[in-house]
Structure 1
Amino acid sequence: MVHRAIHHKGRGALTNPASRFSATAGEDFDDGWDTLDRAAEEDDTAPATHLHRDPTRRVISRNESPDVPFSASINPYKGCAHGCIYCFARPTHEYLDHSSGLDFETEIYYKPDAAELFEAELRHPRYRCEAITLGANTDPYQPDDRHLGITRSILEVAHRFNQPISIITKGAHVTRDLDLIGDLAHRNLASVFVSLTSLDNGLKRHLEPRAAAPAQRLRTIEALAHAGVPTGALVAPVIPMITDAEIEHLVGAAADAGATRAGYVMLRLPHAIKHLFREWLAAHYPERAEHVMSLINQMRGGADYDSAWGTRMTGTGTYADLIAKRFALACRRTGINGKRFSLDTTAFRVPPAAGDQIGFDF
């Protein structure tokens, strides 16, 4: 069902467009009694979040993209209640017969057996240790993980197997697992990248409504770094005329908080995200919308998005080159290294399984 654009409190998307795989689609229409306008004025509540069990049989996913600095990842959740309007993972919800709009933020799938499945895959005779990224698609520390605790259960398995883990998050409650992450880090088996998009609280509320506030994320970087965890900042996404002016401030703030690595990603608008983002622009930045999209088109070969490997993360053209130079200069000024953390893959071991017989010499 395609709904009239309404700004729901605590949600990023303004509509819930039909999945591109849906055989049917609906559209709201005005019945002549101003029904739609009155509904928009009266609907000031946030749509509720619904949790669904994900019956997956495997948790380690693999990719061969040359743009991504890892080949193995785990996503404890499908969908994300942080509600970031720009999230490149939104279209994946359409494979579940959901919308990439509000459904992505409210219909959350969780993997209750993730830890058991993870352990089974690590015990498989053909498994060869490599660093695994948590949060490659959706945030492992999104709001519902506070009570579900799935991410911690995965870290507990990694801890027992000496399995290296790299975490990407904008959720401040990653620090609740500092006991595990810190111990892994002391053995060079863990690193964390905290996503920073803007230092503007007002912008953050519209752009990524349920993610941690900017100050919280900086405190998270500080806490992780203080605990000896290799910590980086991911300036992502860089949005033309919305967040691009903050690049130097974001890198500087991250460095001051203790980050020693940094990376950036340009805004990506695959599939339905291009429409969701245009709606968001029209609602929150109508005076800039045309200029924003013009710059996006300039770095995407005239289109809203270009998925070509090698350039999809950075874009092409004069504007994209300028952003790359500014970011590199900001890193040099602050002493931040742009290289990825290198974790130890040689310490991996398979511990005895529950019930295994242990022999003793007397």
Structure 2
Amino acid sequence: MEWIKAKTLLQKVSFDGQLWFGIDYVMNLYKGCNHRCIYCDSRSEKYFIEDFNRVRGKEHTAGILQYELKKNKCGVINLGAMSDAYNAEELRNGLTRTALQQIYEYGYGLSIETKSNQIVRDIELIKKIQERASACIKLSITTIDDSLAKVIEPGVCPSSKRFEAIQMLSQAGIYTGVLVTPVLPFITDTPENIRGLVRKAYESGAKFIYAQFGMTLRDRQRTYYYEKLEQSFPGLVAQYKKTYGATYGCTSPRCKELSFLFAEECEKYGLLYKMTDIVADCPKKKEDEQLTLF
């Protein structure tokens, strides 16, 4: 794996962290991703990542992170925003594993979003972080159909394997749920898919499921996506162009219908689905009990 220099790792979020799983910081230990999801927003020019399918590790992450954890105020660190923390290189290099150990040692909370079932490797460590501070794990799953997942996320394990990972995390007592983003217009925005995802989340022991009914499209991301659509879904590019033009935010034409259905299904199974409720329900740092002499 190629290594690149990094001056910093922790980035304070510029938005209200309560709007996204209560996070305070984002951190990416790798640059690029080999999951090859056809829709990934991180391909966009604004992120300055050339050859996005190639994963590069950041040098001296343990030392940089130790320094930043010491100087910053404790909070919740999110991994997986730009580059999946459990990409194929992680199994060989262990940058995420080392970072989790440091997060635990310094008492920070943890938030992870991943498409990889390899996260189960770190169940015991994540459990310790949750017990000391907080943890919220999200497995990103866009379709209930393993064969379709192989087309739109060719470098990722099948959806069924991700649900198995959710079950293992949940059985270990870790606060775990499903992230249904994006929902691809004319591909995964069907009532059958949404019903299936909610039902399987429940059966796997998830505490929550969060969805956004649409996707983003811009510059390199749009070009790559359309190339892949032409290969696997002939004729669909024309429908996208007619519906969205050059629009950045591409909401599913079925958004209203699916949002209602999604809420109804979540209520039926007792799954949290509103961000405010998920953040409120996530295990928080326990306040130390004051000792008394009596």
TM-score range, shorter chain: 0.7 to 0.9
Q: In the alignment, is residue 122 of structure 1 matched against residue 69 of structure 2?
A: yes
Give SS of 1:248's match. helix
Give the Å deviation of 1:178.
0.9
Q: In the alignment, is residue 137 of structure 1 matched against residue 87 of structure 2?
A: no
Give the Å deviation of 1:123.
1.0
Determine if contact 2:108/2:133 at 8 Å carries over to the other structure: no
Q: In the alignment, is residue 333 of structure 1 matched against residue 236 of structure 2?
A: no
Give the Å deviation of 1:233.
0.3
Q: Distance in 2 between matches of 1:57 and 1:344?
A: 30
Of 37, 58, 62, 2:8 maps to 58
Q: Which residue type is aligned with residue 290 of structure 1? A: A
Determine if contact 2:26/2:79 at 8 Å carries over to the other structure: yes
Q: Could you tell me which residue of structure 1 aligns to residue 248 of structure 2?
A: 305
User: Structure 2: any 5+ residue segments left out of the alignment?
Assistant: 289-294
Give the Å deviation of 1:213.
1.0
Give the Å deviation of 1:71.
3.9
Q: In the alignment, is residue 193 of structure 1 matched against residue 138 of structure 2?
A: yes
Determine if contact 2:77/2:111 at 8 Å carries over to the other structure: yes
User: Structure 1: any 5+ residue segments left out of the alignment?
Assistant: 1-50, 307-311, 349-362
Give SS of 1:118's match. helix
Q: Distance in 1 between matches of 2:240 and 2:269?
A: 29
Determine if contact 1:134/1:167 at 8 Å carries over to the other structure: yes
Give the Å deviation of 1:142.
0.9
Q: In the alignment, is residue 281 of structure 1 matched against residue 236 of structure 2?
A: no
Q: Could you tell me which residue of structure 2 aligns to residue 161 of structure 1?
A: 106
Q: In the alignment, is residue 321 of structure 1 matched against residue 256 of structure 2?
A: yes
Give the Å deviation of 1:235.
0.7
Determine if contact 1:131/1:345 at 8 Å carries over to the other structure: no
Q: Which residue type is aligned with residue 205 of structure 1? A: K
Determine if contact 2:138/2:179 at 8 Å carries over to the other structure: yes
Cα displacement string for residues 304-361 of structure 1 (whole angstroms, at most 9, x for unaligned residues): 314xxxxx8xx48x6333332232222112211023343535769xxxxxxxxxxxxx
Of 239, 255, 258, 2:205 maps to 258
Q: Which residue type is aligned with residue 172 of structure 2? A: A
Q: Distance in 1 between matches of 2:176 and 2:143?
A: 18
Q: Distance in 2 between matches of 1:60 and 1:202?
A: 37
Q: Could you tell me which residue of structure 1 aligns to residue 291 of structure 2?
A: none
Q: Could you tell me which residue of structure 2 aligns to residue 360 of structure 1?
A: none
Of 32, 46, 57, 1:79 maps to 32
Q: Could you tell me which residue of structure 2 aligns to residue 5 of structure 1?
A: none
Q: Distance in 1 between matches of 2:240 and 2:113?
A: 27
Q: In the alignment, is residue 146 of structure 1 matched against residue 94 of structure 2?
A: no
Q: Which residue type is aligned with residue 133 of structure 1? A: N
Determine if contact 1:194/1:217 at 8 Å carries over to the other structure: yes
Cα displacement string for residues 133-192 of structure 1 (whole angstroms, at most 9, x for unaligned residues): 111222100111111110000000011112101111011110001110122223452120
TM-score by length of 1: 0.71
Give the Å deviation of 1:209.
0.8
Q: Distance in 2 between matches of 1:233 and 1:151?
A: 21
Q: Distance in 2 between matches of 1:267 and 1:82?
A: 18
Q: Distance in 2 between matches of 1:326 and 1:62?
A: 35
Give SS of 1:138's match. coil
Q: Which residue type is aligned with residue 271 of structure 1? A: D
TM-score by length of 2: 0.86
Q: Could you tell me which residue of structure 2 aligns to residue 30 of structure 1?
A: none
Give the Å deviation of 1:111.
1.7
Q: Distance in 1 between matches of 2:73 and 2:283?
A: 15
Q: Could you tell me which residue of structure 2 aligns to residue 25 of structure 1?
A: none
Comparing both structures, which one devotes a greater share of its residues to helix? 2
Give the Å deviation of 1:57.
1.4
Q: Which is further off, 320-329 or 279-288?
A: 320-329
Q: Which is further off, 318-327 or 212-221?
A: 318-327
Q: Structure 1 residues 346 and 328, CA, compared in 2 at 3 Å: closer, same or farther? A: same
Q: Structure 1 residues 225 and 89, CA, compared in 2 at 3 Å: closer, same or farther? A: same
Determine if contact 1:268/1:305 at 8 Å carries over to the other structure: yes
Report how many residues are paired.
277
Give the Å deviation of 1:58.
0.8
Q: Which residue type is aligned with residue 70 of structure 2? A: R
- Provide the aligned C-alpha RMSD in A: 2.3
Give the Å deviation of 1:223.
0.3
